[in-house]
Amino acid sequence: MILANILQLCLLFFVVMILAQLLGSYLIRVLNYNQITGLEFLFEKIENFLYRIVKINPDREQTGKEYLKALLCFNVISFIFAFFIFWLQSVLPLNPMKVASPSWHLSFNAAVSFMTGTNIQYYLPEIHVSYFTQMAAFAVQNFLAPCCGLCVATALTRSLSRTNCPTVGNFWRDLIRLTLYFFLPLSLMFSVFLISQGVPQNFSEYVKAIGLEKIQEQPAVTQPLSDVASKQIIVQGPIASQEAIKLLGSNGGGFTNTNSAHPYENPSPWVNFWQIVAILAIPVAQFNFFAREIKNRRHGRCLFMVMTVLFLTGICFTTHFEHRGNPNISKIAEKHVGNMEGKEMRFGVFDSSLYSITATAVANGSTNAIHTSYTPIGSLMPLVNMQMGEIIFGGVGSGLYNMIIFIILTIFLAGLIIGRTPEYLGKKFEAYEIKMSVFALIAFFVAVLGFTALAISCNIGKVAMFNKGPHGFTEVLYAFSASVANNGSSFAGLNATTAFYDVILGIAMLAGRFLVMIPMMMIAGSLVKKQKAPQGVGTFQVTGLLFGSLLLFIILLLGSLTFIPSVVMGPILEHFYMIKGVLF
């Protein structure tokens, strides 16, 4: 079994690295306006039409502040658009199941969730969401949210590759080209693959079926089967198209409540493997794009190795403790099969653990198992992945600019040690860039811990906890970690459908998204104006083992100092209780 798992991991990395090379190269063509993508015959007229609609000159580049202003205005419009579609869905078309409109606070939470790329779902999608809302509101945001993240990462990359230049690109052109030339073709191809594997794509009403167990419960042939009261509802709808962009765009919001544990979303281990590939492909490719754009492949490989070490560590920890299971149960079990609670039999422990670590490392909230049923240490690693700021490959765009925050702090500390001005890729960091980086990092930490402290210190927050003790605390901590990290991963067990949680979690998502985006765009606007300095004898190299080790140390140090007290009170304490036979 261990050999099979290792071979699967090797195959996964082999496929992902090939795709990363191809997609990274293609991103260069999409985002460098003077290069040909090969899809102009399909999208060039649509692209030009959209420029005329929004009345912009695509050839006019913007300063960092102008780029940021356009980004923020667009996100406000996106939020309003998604909010009103969800809130008014009962009177809108494509609603064959006559789904009612939700409350204002749930509409607020969902609109913020999809606009920020979080996709956390505190409702039952197949019951509370119409087809029109799924497509016109949520699917549209699933395209636009990763595009916005990648726009920020692109602007920051240009600021490092350009020299003595006032502009970082054109937001509207980046957004439109990423949507048309990048995400749309990839999603179409992956949707076709999912349909070929049995994932539904239709607009039919839900099917009412009668299971064999219900037939056996009825009196012997006294009424037609169509009149039997107990019927099973089988969900239908445009699932394949939603599933494709949910995975490729680091979104995670499923068409069904059980997400990728549902056989219609994830029908087989073969599809499960390619879903993991889809989750990883673009986040890894963005670092390949970054390395190509700055013309420093060795630095890109160094970053990849640091993230791979963190990624494999999480997989080893979660898989080990999930295979081990609860030691009190293992002692009396005839056969040790690990912790299968909350997992699909068709995936098993390793594929469930791999999916969980991948999704939480890559800011993708999708899952093929229930996290609240994991062992305490098994659930610790997905939590830690999010609390480190989603920098293990990370979300589309956000993974790159979040990693650059840690790089800036690493370079700053190295500069203090050797007594030189911090310098990265020829650009000197001054007080302004350091302050912006520290602000973004502190804003993330304070939002996670501050909102968690607020929720568990008031009665309205505590009554929503299904479990007590450390497990209940982990539910709340996990919810805010996922929201601020814009991951959307759900631990379950927390009744977050109240107005209090809908609003406070929505604010947490906004804080996690824009209190990091804004400082990074300010840094981009500052760096792009600077002249590149030639490397000297005292220049700190960002390509070797020393830099990689120092970067890894800074990531672990900042994460451990900030979150160790909270995880000790949650999953670590629960682990020792579990050993003693106490459950929550």
- The continuous run of DSSP H or E covering 491 comes out as none
Separation between Cα atoms, residue 368 and residue 263, nearest integer Å: 10
Evaluate whether residue 103 is within a structural domain: no
Evaluate whether residue 483 is within a structural domain: yes
Evaluate whether residue 130 is within a structural domain: no
Evaluate whether residue 250 is within a structural domain: no
Separation between Cα atoms, residue 128 and residue 240, nearest integer Å: 19
Tell me the two tokens of residue 64: 């960092």
Nearest residue to 67 via CA among 144, 158, 137: 158
- The continuous run of DSSP H or E covering 572 comes out as none
Total Cβ atoms within 10 A of residue 12: 16
Q: Which of 35-49, 140-154, 354-368, 483-497 has the lowest mean pLDDT?
A: 483-497
The four Cα atoms 70, 76, 78, 83 give a dihedral, to 10 degrees, of 180
Evaluate whether residue 512 is within a structural domain: yes
What residue numbers bound the domain in which 482 lies?
393-579
Evaluate whether residue 99 is within a structural domain: no
pLDDT greater than 90 at residue 157:
yes
pLDDT greater than 80 at residue 5:
yes
The domain tally of the chain equals 1
Per-residue pLDDT at 494: 84
Which band of pLDDT confidence, cut at 50, 70 and 90, is reported for residue 537? Answer: low
At 193-252, the pLDDT tens digits run: 999 999 999 988 888 877 666 555 555 444 454 444 456 788 888 999 999 999 999 898
Per-residue pLDDT at 215: 53
Evaluate whether residue 388 is within a structural domain: no
Evaluate whether residue 101 is within a structural domain: no
Query: Which of residues 525 and 461 earns the better pLDDT score?
Result: 525
At 407-442, the pLDDT tens digits run: 999 999 888 887 777 888 888 888 999 999 999 999
Nearest residue to 250 via CA among 380, 78, 391: 391
**Distances from the Cα of 321 to the Cαs of 10, 324, 370, 418, 570, in angstroms?**
21, 5, 15, 42, 16
